[in-house]
Amino acid sequence: MASIGYYTPTKVLFGKEAENQVGEVLKAEGATKVLVHFGAGSVKKSGLLDRVEARIKEAGIDFIELGGVVPNPRVSLVRKGIEMYRDEGCDYILSVGGGSVLDSAKAIGYGVFGGGDVWDFYCGKRMPEGIAPIGCILTLSATGSEMSDSSVITNDETDPVYKRGCNTDFGRVKFSLLNPELTYTVSEYQTASGAVDIMMHTLERFFHSGHGLDFTDDLACTLLKEVMKWTPVALYKPDDYDARANLMWCGTLSHNGLMATGNATKGDWACHQIEHELSAEYDVAHGAGLAAIWGSWARYVLDTDRERFVKLGEGVFGESDPIKAIEKFEAFFKSINMPITIQGLGLDFDEAACRTAARGVTFQDARTIGDFKVLNTEDVFNIYMMASGLK
Ligand code: NZQ
Ligand code: ZN
């Protein structure tokens, strides 16, 4: 196994009514004026925003609001948030919503601290040297952003649009208040898409080069089995607390670094890169895009290390035939109405579209992706072709 560096500075309060502690927690953090950030309206409709703001007021803390974050959050709103935070003299950001709201909050935090053009931190021009303090109340189990080091932003000011991540330990938020009940209202599609994303954060780490740790492999298989057990329950009965709680905690632990402990690298992450190109250009839901890609990626890279697929198949399904194990993952995705092809995402991909997307992924042939198997533009093109049923 490899040496372990495990850094998880986020204070987590998990359980029913966790969000009601927001006033005390912000006060303990020394916040005096908070930028409350949220999405298109679900938190208003559910009454969550009013409840949260009442708690902030009770704690004697001032706040301003910035709503309007959309899925695949845009840099244009981030710029507005940076300006508001500065002009209004804020000293804390509170994200109330899903992963997109939190990623937008993180970007505002980077921009406030670092000055200059915030996109620099996403296109790799500058590395962040700090971030404004951020807390989160999560309403959707999926991205793991509530404990992850990551923020993913879409630049809607360029043509073509770019979707890029910024991963640093500064991106790990100060606190996350996690109440599974807040996810009861998440739609079937977003619940399923979120479940795939949770699974993929573990699968991406399971497939790594070099040595790993047996314990981490076992944790990975357990997490995958739990997500596959509880997702259908949450879809059938959206207010099943145990189902929502298992999904929420799996989502958090899947992407906080635990699932890579003892592994030689941080994982493969090719599917994420291949998917981000789709959600950037076509605005599809991230988890659904991953479901559409994964099986094709798996078949393409299988011969790199078949034993790894055998271990996964046996650990999750008791299935030692790697092809059958891949099919079982796809059957699960289908059973929760997730697509397993690009067409299933509603996109009409031809060979030219596959070529353009592949070049986008490798920054016009300037980089490779992946770690379990390193992929160049031609490899990515082949995977898009397979996922489109053209190969
Ligand atoms: O905007 P509102 O009205 O809140 O509606 C949202 C949105 O339409 C809705 N929703 C959220 N909570 C709800 C709810 N609807 C009803 N009840 C609730 N309780 O769900 C829709 C999707 O929300 P979004 O935040 O976009 O979903 P998700 O959490 O899946 O975030 C996806 C984004 O995160 C990025 C993805 O690429 C994508 O941009 N990722 C971030 C990561 C990270 N920071 O660590 C890692 C991931 O791999 C991923 O790339
Ligand atoms: Zn993801």
Query: Atom 22, ligand 1: which residue's CA is nearest?
Result: 71
Query: Atom 47, ligand 1: which residue's CA is nearest?
Result: 143
Kindly state the tokens that stand for 189: 């599609």
Asked if residue 238 has a cis previous peptide bond (ω within 30° of 0), the answer is no
Using CA atoms, how far residue 51 sits from 17, 37, 41, in Å, is 11, 14, 14
Question: pTM for the full model?
Answer: 0.98
What is the band of 159 on the pLDDT scale with cuts at 50, 70, 90?
Answer: confident
Ligand 2 center to 289 CA (angstroms): 10
Domains, the chain, with CATH or none: 11-182 (3.40.50.1970), 186-387 (1.20.1090.10)
Nearest ligand, CA 143: 1
Evaluate: CB of 100 within 6 angstroms of ligand 1.
yes
Burial of 118 (0-12, 13-18, 19+ CB in 10 A): buried
Kindly state the tokens that stand for 262: 């003892």
Q: Tell me: the pLDDT tens digits for 201-232?
A: 999 999 999 999 999 999 999 999 999 999 99
Query: Atom 29, ligand 1: which residue's CA is nearest?
Result: 99
Nearest ligand, CA 198: 2
Asked if 178 and 248 count as a contact pair (C-beta separation under 8 A), the reply is yes
Nearest ligand, CA 167: 1
Using CA atoms, how far residue 4 sits from 11, 85, 220, in Å, is 21, 37, 17
Query: Atom 48, ligand 1: which residue's CA is nearest?
Result: 143
pLDDT over 90 at 252, yes or no: yes
What is the band of 160 on the pLDDT scale with cuts at 50, 70, 90?
Answer: confident
- DSSP H or E segment with residue 256: none
Evaluate: CB of 246 within 6 angstroms of ligand 1.
no
Burial of 73 (0-12, 13-18, 19+ CB in 10 A): buried
Evaluate: CB of 257 within 6 angstroms of ligand 1.
no
Nearest ligand, CA 252: 1
Give the separation between CA 329 and CA 292, rounded to whole angstroms: 12
Ligand 2 center to 19 CA (angstroms): 24
What is the band of 40 on the pLDDT scale with cuts at 50, 70, 90?
Answer: very high
Give the separation between CA 17 and CA 308, rounded to whole angstroms: 41
What would the mean pLDDT of 331-348 be, rounded to a whole number?
97
In the numeric block, the tokens 């067409």 are attached to 343
Which one of 145, 162, 205, 248 would you pick to mutate in the ligand 1 pocket, going by the greatest count of ligand atoms within 8 A of its CB?
145
Q: Tell me: the pLDDT tens digits for 294-334?
A: 999 999 999 999 999 999 999 999 999 999 999 999 999 99
Asked if 313 and 321 count as a contact pair (C-beta separation under 8 A), the reply is yes
